[in-house]
Structure 1
């Protein structure tokens, strides 16, 4: 049994979905583990992770628009605003999604569906540098 750990830095320019699939696949290939389990972990409370369709960009736009409606940026609505009016909505969007993914690895590749991609979901309006931890275990 072998393990590998890597910190992936993702620079999100603004709120929305950032495809990190290629970087995650490159990490798995680099370590030559044929069968195992990949954990993808976001070390932040105002960003999250999703596995979602990667073929049609309108899916990403619809998801982003849905979250804008579901958790609006309204300064009158929230008490917590330490880092600005998008701070508390970002935390709530993270609560509704996830900060960790577990993805099987088979034949040296993450086992994803044909139309699935791995995304950082940035919930803040302004550019953020995000730290995503990749942990691979297997043989």
Structure 2
């Protein structure tokens, strides 16, 4: 059994979905691990990780609009230390999750044809986000 670990830095500039599938695939190819399990973990409380469609940009726009509707910004939150998008960002991260598990087969992520890996930035301000990747396999 082998293990590999790295960190991906994703610089964000606004609320959006930032795809990083290719970066993970490139790293994975260099590990030499053919079969295993990849775990991705977002080290933040106001950003999250998603697997979603990466072919139609309308999917990302619809996802962001839905999150804005379900968890709107406003003055009705007690926690607003960093502005009106602070608490909604924490709730959106809780709803969408901070970790993913992806099977690895034949040295590649076993994603479906239209699936991609995304960091969801839930804040309007630019951030430097970090995602830890840990791979176990052989």
Tell me the TM-score normalized by structure 1.
0.98
> 2:88: which partner in 1?
89
2-side partners of 1:2 and 1:111: how far apart? 18
2-side partners of 1:47 and 1:129: how far apart? 11
> 1:59: which partner in 2?
59
3-state secondary structure, aligned to 1:58: helix
1:48 has 2:54 as partner = no
1:99 has 2:101 as partner = no
Structure 1: gaps (5+ residues): none
2-side partners of 1:32 and 1:108: how far apart? 7
1:33 has 2:33 as partner = yes
- Give the aligned length: 138
Q: Deviations over 1:47-93 (max 9, x none)?
A: 00000000000000000011111111102x10001111110000010
Alpha-carbon RMSD across the aligned residues, in angstroms, is 0.6
2-side partners of 1:15 and 1:30: how far apart? 31
Structure 2: gaps (5+ residues): none
